[in-house]
Structure 1
Amino acid sequence: MKARPSIARVANVATAGMPPVALPAGALEGCVDLHCHSTASDGILSPAELVSRAKSCGVTLLSLTDHDTVAGIAEAQVAAAAAGVTLLPGIELSSRWGKQLVHIVGLGVDTGSEALRRAISERDGLRSERAEHIGARLEKRGFYGALDGARRLAGDGVLGRPHFARWLVEAGHVEDTARAFKRYLGAGKCGDVSVEWPQLEETIAAVHGAGGCAVLAHPLKYGMTRTRLLRLMTDFCAVGGDAVELLCGRQNPVQTRELARLMAEAAQAAERPTALLCSLGSDFHQPGQPWRELGCTHLPADVEPVWNLWQTSANATAAKPD
């Protein structure tokens, strides 16, 4: 049996080479949402509009986690400061576990770090290549202008399959984006172009290099068996992962309890000295999806939340003598 890699976990964001993020008073008075998207990637709302909607939904701690970019963070920070919302800079990095696509959310990252800049640059190139292949495949199916249309809809944001889906709707080829994925862009369809994203360990290292906390995003969305999901989470532990998104949008409580058990088993299997922390988020992309509305979900009371990292930092900062 192949030996698992040794655990190289960042126990606190302060150990990753940047000052600790301290949560201000009131950050946890309302809802928490640590996974959402803006027009900087494949969301519908601008970063400022997203913050405004989060505020109206009662969110007091928010992380903007656009796909493979932090381009929306500066705008979101300005809007959050004006709205009285605490914003944790974040990102959702595309990654691979073997041949399986997985997403790693980085929370509390230093957006100007060299490690994060390199990770984003690498993914920019991979996304550009994938978009060209998707466009070419759609052209062969008679959907002329797909690439240019998707690029126009993406604007300055990160180009992804949702932009192709929106173009297919705009051009009248399908009724809605769900149908676009079902017919042309989903798994096994003509627009499903595989990408050699950086591996899990490299991605976690990039998040840690940016001073952030590495979170395994929406584990239930990968469609894995229990055995395979346990293997993924065990490997995630073993290569330094910090937390798992226990809840992603509105979720069946039975699934949540089972996922919490898997997290405990994974930590034990990886011989991890501490439990995996629990994160949550809506994975909000657009209005009109109540199961993914900002702030729509809450962690159970009997788990350790990922924001304890920054609460601890805040307490330590407050206790430090002048």
Structure 2
Amino acid sequence: MHTIYSDGDLYPSELVTKARDIGLKAISVTDHDTVDGLESIERECKKMGLQFIPGIEFTTNFDPQGIEVHVLGYGFDKDDPYLQKKLEITKKRAWKYADEMVDLLSSHGWLVDYSRLESAKGIITKHDIALAVVNRDMSTYEFHDLWLTEKSKYFIDVEKFQIEEAIEIIHKAGGKAVGAHMIRTLDQYSSLPLLADVVDHFVKCGIDGFEVFYGKSNWQQVKSMLELCRTYGLIITGGSDYHGTGRIGRCPLGSYNVHNFNHDEEKLLNILSKSPIPASESTAENKDLVI
């Protein structure tokens, strides 16, 4: 889930209230490359009686193909000094990208309200830039696709961590690292045949698990990721990737397709919240879990 601290639509209090109202018992918010909203999320969770699991979604680079892949972090110490130091780097990179993109857009006649970027919470995202274009004559989605995606002729890349760097940061802060929506990502790059190789690379980098149950994934997509996770004995998670109401192609809050595959949310909550579980339960078979 995401908030206004990255590219989501809701403030922490709004998101936690919505989660409580639909009956969720535990949540993890994974804003992109920032933990700035987690203090507010944790405070709201305590007020409303929800279990809070610190989360983040790192933007990383898979070389040599140059594919942007995302690494989720769960259950870490959000105040860890090494984590905070690395997140300062992501903020500087985001501002460098924003300045370059604003200059490019301005040279093509687009008017950007820079004060809106300056007042943005958390980290500057492409969504913030699209919203800041005041003479935009199309939706934010259309503008994003035309000017800000990697398929755009105006594309400017953002310097990113390598996969192993993001995993190291999460592990040093005491968390679990999970590869996010791999099939969706590779499909966007027309690179689905690389799935097994990419998963193998993640494993060699020390990944703890993968997001198997993602949004509206079909049965075959879930089955493919599930088999890969079972092969390597990895943690299995799921999520809606909720950004707000009315987002194209997204699931409602707290929803994702599981297609009747077995999972145990209670055990996963124990793993991600660092609650101890008996050693006899920490086998590959018992890692078939989801949040």
TM superposition score normalised by structure 2: 0.85
Q: 1:175 maps to what in 2?
A: 138
Give distance in 1, aligned partners of 2:219 and 2:140.
Answer: 28
Residue range with higher mean Cα deviation, 303-312 or 201-210: 303-312
Report 1:246-265 matches (<5 A). 246-264=212-230
Letter in 1 for 2:86: A
Higher relative contact order (CA 8 A, sep 6+): 1
- Residue 254 of structure 2 corresponds to residue 295 of structure 1: yes
Give the direction of change, closer, same or farther, for the CA distance of 1:105–1:41 in structure 2 (3 Å limit): same
CA contact (8 A) 2:180 2:210 kept: yes
Give distance in 2, aligned partners of 1:239 and 1:195.
Answer: 22
Q: 1:8 maps to what in 2?
A: none
Cα deviations by residue, 1:207-230 (Å, 9 ceiling, x for unpaired): 000100001111122225333121
CA contact (8 A) 2:26 2:52 kept: yes
Give distance in 1, aligned partners of 2:45 and 2:274.
Answer: 22
CA contact (8 A) 1:40 1:156 kept: yes
Q: 1:239 maps to what in 2?
A: 205
User: Which residue of 86, 91, 109 corresponds with 2:56?
Assistant: 91
User: Which residue of 78, 81, 84 corresponds with 1:114?
Assistant: 81
CA contact (8 A) 2:120 2:128 kept: no
- Residue 71 of structure 2 corresponds to residue 104 of structure 1: yes
Give distance in 2, aligned partners of 1:84 and 1:109.
Answer: 20
- What is the CA distance between 1:195 and its match in structure 2? 2.1
Cα deviations by residue, 1:7-59 (Å, 9 ceiling, x for unpaired): xxxxxxxxxxxxxxxxxxxxxxxxxxxxx111111111111111111112221
User: Which residue of 158, 179, 184 corresponds with 1:216?
Assistant: 179
Give secondary structure in 2 for the equivalent of 1:292.
Answer: coil
Q: Which runs of 5+ in 1 are unaligned?
A: 1-35, 268-274, 317-322
- What is the CA distance between 1:235 and its match in structure 2? 0.8
- What is the CA distance between 1:196 and its match in structure 2? 2.5
Residue range with higher mean Cα deviation, 292-301 or 45-54: 292-301
User: Which residue of 10, 30, 39 corresponds with 1:74?
Assistant: 39
User: Which residue of 135, 138, 154 corresponds with 2:102?
Assistant: 135
**% identical equivalent positions:** 26
Give the direction of change, closer, same or farther, for the CA distance of 1:298–1:183 in structure 2 (3 Å limit): closer
Give secondary structure in 1 for the equivalent of 2:98.
Answer: helix
CA contact (8 A) 2:238 2:256 kept: yes
- What is the CA distance between 1:102 and its match in structure 2? 1.1
Give distance in 2, aligned partners of 1:59 and 1:249.
Answer: 16
Give the direction of change, closer, same or farther, for the CA distance of 1:174–1:149 in structure 2 (3 Å limit): farther
Give the direction of change, closer, same or farther, for the CA distance of 1:96–1:295 in structure 2 (3 Å limit): same
- What is the CA distance between 1:259 and its match in structure 2? 2.2
Q: 2:239 maps to what in 1?
A: 281
Give distance in 2, aligned partners of 1:174 and 1:248.
Answer: 32
Q: 2:156 maps to what in 1?
A: 193
Give distance in 2, aligned partners of 1:186 and 1:301.
Answer: 34
Give secondary structure in 2 for the equivalent of 1:313.
Answer: coil
Residue range with higher mean Cα deviation, 159-168 or 59-68: 159-168
User: Which residue of 160, 163, 174 corresponds with 2:128?
Assistant: 163
RMSD across aligned positions (CA): 2.2
CA contact (8 A) 2:60 2:71 kept: yes
- What is the CA distance between 1:304 and its match in structure 2? 6.6
Q: 2:286 maps to what in 1?
A: none
Aligned residues: 269
Cα deviations by residue, 1:272-299 (Å, 9 ceiling, x for unpaired): xxx1111111111111248422111264
Q: 1:29 maps to what in 2?
A: none
- What is the CA distance between 1:174 and its match in structure 2? 3.1
Give the direction of change, closer, same or farther, for the CA distance of 1:315–1:201 in structure 2 (3 Å limit): closer
Give secondary structure in 2 for the equivalent of 1:59.
Answer: coil
Q: Which runs of 5+ in 2 are unaligned?
A: 279-291
